A = this chain, B = another copy of it.
Amino acid sequence: MNLLFMLMSATIKDIAKLAGVSISTVSRALNNNPRVKKGTMDKIQDIAKSLNFEFNAGARSLSSKITGNIALVYDAHINGFEVSLYINQLFLEVRYILEQMDMDTILLTGYDVNTGASNIKRIVHKKKVDGFLIVHDSITNDDYKTIQAAGLPIVQLHMVPRNDISVRFDSFYSDNFMGGQMATNHLISLGCRSILTVLPFAEESKEYSQRVLGYKKALEDSDLPFNKELVVSVECAYLSGYNLFNSIPKIIKQVDGIFFQADIQAFGFLTAARERGIDIPGDIKVIGYDDVPMCQTVIPSLSSIHQPRKELAELACKRIIQRINSPINLKPECRYLLPSIVLRTSS
């Protein structure tokens, strides 16, 4: 007799009938309301379990505003190989953590690629989520306001908004300044005195400019001169790293260390160096950024700066859950987590 229920999605009404109590009691019991008697509670929960009962999400959100969903907003324009790989790893992390917290994830781009329409406004007004996890650096102020007007928490993750709005909500970033500084200091500590840094073209992205600042700081601290010719932007691709010997031959010749801000550029360079009989790390020491899996298996294996994505994801998720569960007016928290340096044979 229960077989039917097991397939058909039971409701609290069904459970009430089976338990011989009212739906109010069932509702309370399944929400662990302490007012219900232990015996009743156990009985009801047993029945619920045996029926594979789950709350009807629509009904629940209608009546209590709780959806059990979190919006994970990303930028549709992130299609770059390297970036999308990193972001993808971050997402898997987020998914994993939210799942432990019984939250589902609605994945969406901030803006429709074709129409430019805001998916954020849409999702807010549809009341589909309990909060926003934002991995996007160009959300409009209007949209931030829309979310806040709806009383939903915002947690900014990984991407620093381009139009800096100070600290209006919780933010968890990787410290790119420190990352740049660490990479450069590492090369300096190995004896490098003429250090090139190569970064991807990226119009207004803050992360690379921060890393360059960290690079500068490290030079300064060691009384090494800063030479702006040693900061070069090339496409974020294997080939641009490979072509460095042709595109900037004179610079490469005078350099004893290179800090690549994208691993993939470093991979190309390593290959080219090998072809030219240039010893890595003997002649030039090399370090990358992002610590993609291939760093471990390339020859020579690539030292790299590892961003704390696991920790970032965890902090961000915990924070948004906390905001959702307790609308206490905590001050927004903005944290820049330190990356770590993974030493391999290229440096």
Residue-wise interface mask of A (245-278) relative to B, using a CB-CB cutoff of 8 A (1 in contact, 0 not): 0000000000000000000100010011011000
In-complex Cβ contact of A60 among B52, B58, B106, B272 (8 A): B58
Within the complex, the shortest CB–CB distance from A102 to chain B, in Å, comes to 9
A92 adjacent to B84 (CB under 8 Å): yes
The reply to whether the CB of A121 lies closer than 8 angstroms to some CB of chain B is yes
Within the complex, the shortest CB–CB distance from A264 to chain B, in Å, comes to 7
The reply to whether the CB of A190 lies closer than 8 angstroms to some CB of chain B is no
Number of A positions contacting B (CB below 8 A): 72
Contact A297-B96, Cβ < 8 Å, known A108-B105, A126-B56: no
Q: How many copies does the complex hold?
A: 2
CA distance A334 to B123 in the complex (A): 34
The reply to whether the CB of A220 lies closer than 8 angstroms to some CB of chain B is no
CA distance A89 to B78 in the complex (A): 11
Chain A residues touching B, majority SS = helix
Residue-wise interface mask of A (142-175) relative to B, using a CB-CB cutoff of 8 A (1 in contact, 0 not): 0001100110000000000000000000000000
Residues of B within 8 A of A224 (CB): none
Q: Which of A91, A104, A109, A119 has the largest number of chain B CB atoms within 10 A? A: A104
The reply to whether the CB of A178 lies closer than 8 angstroms to some CB of chain B is no
Residue-wise interface mask of A (101-139) relative to B, using a CB-CB cutoff of 8 A (1 in contact, 0 not): 000111111001110000101111111100000000000
Residue-wise interface mask of A (47-58) relative to B, using a CB-CB cutoff of 8 A (1 in contact, 0 not): 000001111111
Residues of B within 8 A of A303 (CB): none
In-complex Cβ contact of A105 among B106, B126, B294 (8 A): B106
Residues of B within 8 A of A292 (CB): 81
Contact A9-B150, Cβ < 8 Å, known A56-B126, A88-B88: yes
Interface residues of A in 1-36 (CB under 8 A from B): 7-10
In-complex Cβ contact of A112 among B99, B108, B239 (8 A): B99
Interface residues of A in 277-325 (CB under 8 A from B): 292-294, 296-299
Contacts A/B (CB < 8 Å), 8 sampled: A8-B149, A56-B127, A58-B127, A79-B92, A85-B88, A95-B108, A242-B299, A268-B298
List A residues at the B interface (Cβ < 8 Å). Answer: 7-10, 52-62, 67-69, 72, 76, 79, 81, 84-85, 88-89, 91-92, 95-96, 99-100, 104-109, 112-114, 119, 121-128, 145-146, 149-150, 237-240, 242, 264, 268, 271-272, 274-275, 292-294, 296-299
